[in-house]
Amino acid sequence: MTHQLDLDFIRGQFPSLTDAPTNEWAHLENAGGSYVPNQVIGLITELFSHAKCQPSWDFGPSVLATEAMDRSRVVMAELFNADPAEIHFGPSTSQNTYVLAHAFRAGWAEGDEIIVTNQDHEANSGVWRRLADSGIVVREWQADPTTGRLDPADAAALITDRTRLMAVTHASNVAATVNPIRELADMVHAVGGRIVVDGVSYAPHGVVDVQALDCDVYLYSAYKTFGPHIGMMFTKADLLEEIAHQGHYFNAGITSTKLTPAGPDHAMIGAAAGIGDYYDAVHAHHFGASAAGRFARTSELFDLFGTHEEALMEPLLAFLRERDGVRVVGAAESDHTVRAPTIAFASERRSSADVYAALIEAKVSCGHGHFYAHRLVTALGLEPEDGVVRLSAVHYNTAEEIERALAVLDRVI
């Protein structure tokens, strides 16, 4: 049985897509922040209306808050094929990596080595690089300066028996090409190291199986994946035992607070379960009632999303490939297992700021610059403030929205 994505149903879940005044925009800045469906909005409203208080006590609203937060942890664990104890919420991915870097450093000695890339968003780069100040040797795995892609053979050459960690993105928010995480994990694990994977830009486009990837940490920003503005990280159970406690001293030994020194936003944590509720609603609409578990249902759904996203990015990539003087960052092909539909490009003829302005004029939501992948954009030989133009789609985008962008690009580049 083949399934066609029912875009009317899907878009009907997102008020920003259906209602004025936002519905006049073709939202192609999803890599910066995706819209939220009614399932998430409903939970935020419910939790702010009836459970906006301190959780963990026995009074009614507090019980509701606790239940909502616990449910989110379970839903997230199911989505990532993890255990709920391995799920940690924090204010953002950037804050989560900041905490992680402290937690890891406590167990390392001067002269221990880590590998970072110049393809990553700064959130999974700067905090690790700063450890050089305390005697950690930082090795940079460099992307190809023309394509922006990483070659695993270059990573292999950087690994030694002192490698403690590799920090790498699953798919960069600019190059968007899927990196072979399992292969990298195996390489790092062979010398007793760990791998921290930034999945922020990958997770809106593919199912994430942390067990199959064998990653030690998987970073996720719910607000890029149809959820509220919080960060979440999967941390493998044995790693959690190993790294240093970052919470208050009297909570030492409580793993659920080990990596959350900041009081997280309870209502937003509770609302994160709405991402799973949304996937369930879309799954039920397309596949009917299912006895399969959440992870299996979500995998099936992402196959459908991937096929649609591939159809969205193909005309855009085809156009950009053929235009003289235009450089696309990352893989040139539209296979959704190879790249996400986050298309960043630069034109020799027009500044990215000009192209951006023309797109905005036509009500195409997008951005330009370095998108905090400052090192990558610089390594590509571009001036980072002007940087690249980025058009980033997700499964709710339509062929007409891509056509609107293409009509502008045809005129200006």
Instruction: Give the residue with the Cβ less far from ligand PLP, 87 or 304.
Output: 87
Calculate the alpha carbon distances from 258 to 30, 102, 108, 237 in Å: 31, 12, 18, 12
Which distant-in-sequence residues (6+ apart) come within 8 Å of 324 by Cβ?
none
Among 13, 66, 72, 93, binds ligand PLP (CB under 6 A): 93
Which range, of 149-157, 184-192, 197-205, 313-321, touches ligand PLP by CB under 6 A? 197-205
Instruction: Give the residue with the Cβ less far from ligand PLP, 95 or 347.
Output: 95
Instruction: Give the residue with the Cβ less far from ligand PLP, 198 or 401.
Output: 198
Q: Does 393 bind ligand PLP (CB under 6 A)?
A: no
Which range, of 14-22, 89-97, 353-361, 399-407, touches ligand PLP by CB under 6 A? 89-97
Calculate the alpha carbon distances from 63 to 52, 56, 275 in Å: 11, 7, 22
Identity of residue 130: R
Instruction: Give the residue with the Cβ less far from ligand PLP, 91 or 306.
Output: 91
Instruction: Give the residue with the Cβ less far from ligand PLP, 66 or 221.
Output: 221
Among 173, 342, 347, 365, binds ligand PLP (CB under 6 A): 173
Minimum distance from residue 328 beta carbon to ligand PLP (Å): 18
**Is 97:196 a contact under the CB 8 Å cutoff?**
yes
Among 13, 72, 201, 235, binds ligand PLP (CB under 6 A): 201
Considering Cα of 283, then 288, then 291, then 292, what sign does the dihedral take?
negative
Facing residues of 218 across strands?
Answer: 197, 234
Q: Does 55 bind ligand PLP (CB under 6 A)?
A: no
Instruction: Give the residue with the Cβ less far from ligand PLP, 231 or 384.
Output: 231
- Residues 212 to 241 in contact with ligand PLP, rule: CB under 6 A: 221, 231
How many residues in the chain? 413
Residue (of 127, 88, 115, 101) closest to 244 by Cα position: 101
DSSP per-residue string spanning 377-401:
HHHTT--TTTBEEEEE--TT--HHH
**Is 113:162 a contact under the CB 8 Å cutoff?**
yes
Report the alpha-carbon distance of residue 118 to residue 144 in Å, rounded.
10
Q: Does 90 bind ligand PLP (CB under 6 A)?
A: no
Among 65, 68, 200, 240, binds ligand PLP (CB under 6 A): 200
Report the alpha-carbon distance of residue 387 to residue 378 in Å, rounded.
8
User: What is the DSSP-derived secondary structure letter of residue 79?
Assistant: H
Minimum distance from residue 238 beta carbon to ligand PLP (Å): 25
Q: Does 92 bind ligand PLP (CB under 6 A)?
A: yes
Q: Does 121 bind ligand PLP (CB under 6 A)?
A: yes
Using CB under 6 A as the binding criterion, the count of chain residues that bind ligand PLP stands at 13
Residue (of 18, 72, 38) closest to 281 by Cα position: 38
Instruction: Give the residue with the Cβ less far from ligand PLP, 75 or 233.
Output: 233
Where does this chain bind ligand PLP (CB under 6 A)? 92-94, 121, 123, 169, 173, 198, 200-201, 221, 231, 372
